[in-house]
Amino acid sequence: MAKVVGGLGTSHVPSIGAAVDHGKTQEPYWKPVFDGMLPAKAWIEQVKPDVCIIVYNDHASRFALDLIPTFALGVGESFAPHDEGYGPRPVPTVEGHPEFAWHLAERLIQDDFDLTLVHEMTVDHGLTVPLSIAFGQPEAWPCRVIPLCVNMIQYPQPSGKRCYQLGRAIRRAIDSYPGDLRVAIFGTGGLSHQLQGERAGLINREYDQRWLDRFITEPAEVAKISAVELMRETGSEGIECTMWLVMRGALDDTVDVVHRFYHVPASNTAYGLLVLENSADTGAEQHRGAEAEALG
């Protein structure tokens, strides 16, 4: 039977991808950020997911103002990196898992989620940067990937409550899949940042850390936070953290924190990274040992 091996939350700062692609990860500016990622890499190497469901937002790449799905699920065979204006990232094409994706589509739609199903789509930094954070620079991504794109660009965005409910429904769908799959779920985006206007460069460390605390222990309450509050406190792009709630909803109510990392700045963004496992799972202590070893 399919099994959720854990959830990973991460910012998807595009300049992180550029640092990876251009060999700058060990430069003084970037080294603290990439050092903080090492325990997450060690964890994912140990749990070895067969499939990663990556929840991300498209940045007017595949979807523009002429077509704005609230939730779009990639059901195709593969998904190439998008050209965001400077050529596609030099990363492998994402290989999908159509059989599992169609199972998710069927169960989620029957669970009253109106999904847009996408056979052909390119994926931008919102999806490829988290893969680089988790897996580095392999010749091919070591697992299948199911893209789940959430509208965080154009008002009205789905609420935190709806994203959390979607995560719950995804968990039910995974639990009902008859195949033997190890599934990891990534929630991406955020944390506090704003790219334009009078508040460009906004970072709210205190709010980010408090949000992370509550996200771990009381996610149903965090899901009630309004978009207005998130944008006021964390900036217009900080609202992306709502997508982490899809990941959290797919986990148990009680989780173990395998790794938590926060760093400012990563470009003009507060970078956050969180690895969670269901508390009932065994092996958490082993994973924490891998974290300590990775940190040296």
Is the pLDDT at 290 greater than 90? The verdict is no
Label residue 291 by pLDDT band (50, 70, 90): very low
Write out the H or E segment, with its range, that includes residue 290. Answer: helix 284-295
Is the pLDDT at 24 greater than 60? The verdict is yes
Structure confidence at residue 64 (pLDDT): 84
Residues designated as active site = 125, 193
CATH architecture of 3-295: 3-Layer(aba) Sandwich (3.40)
Structure confidence at residue 65 (pLDDT): 84
| pLDDT tens-digit map of 223-254 | 999 999 999 999 999 999 999 999 999 999 99
Name 185's Cβ contacts closer than 8 Å, sequence gap at least 6: 4, 6, 7, 8, 52, 53, 55, 167, 170, 246, 247, 250, 251
CA distance linking residue 278 with residue 76, whole number of Å: 29
| pLDDT tens-digit map of 186-210 | 999 999 999 888 899 999 999 999 9
Strands 144-150 and 3-10: unpaired
Structure confidence at residue 281 (pLDDT): 57
